[in-house]
Amino acid sequence: MEPTTDRGVRVSCEGGVARVVLCRPERRNAFDDDVIARLTEVVTHLSGDRDVRVIVLEGEGKAFSAGADLDWMRRMVTASREDNVADALRLANLYEALHCAPKAVIAKVHGAALGGGAGLVAAADVAVAAEGTVLGFTEARLGILPAVISPYAGMKIGAGHARRWFVTGARMDAAEAQRIGLVHEVVPADELEAATKRLAFDVLQCGPQAVGHCKELVEDVVGGLAMAGALEDGFENVKTYTATRIAEARVSAEGQEGLKAFLEKRRPRWAQ
Catalytic residue set:
139
How would you list the strands of the sheet with 171-173, edge to edge? 112-114, 134-136, 171-173
Query: In angstroms, what CA-CA distances link 186 with 109, 114, 118, 125, 176?
Result: 9, 17, 15, 15, 10
Cα 105 to Cα 127: distance, rounded to the nearest angstrom: 9
211: Cβ contacts below 8 Å, ≥ 6 apart = 53, 102, 103, 104, 203
Gap between the Cα atoms of 33 and 223, Å rounded: 29
The Cα–Cα gap between 13 and 146 comes to 32
Beta-strand runs (E) in 15-67 = 17-22, 54-59
Secondary structure of residue 50 in the 3-state scheme: coil
Round to whole Å and give the CA distance between 58 and 64.
6
| Residue 55: strand pairing partners | 18, 105
Residue 186 to residue 130: CA distance in whole angstroms: 6
Q: Going by C-beta distance under 8 Å and a sequence separation of 6 or more, which residues neighbour residue 165? A: 136, 137, 157, 172, 180
Give φ, ψ of 178 to 5 degrees.
-70, -40
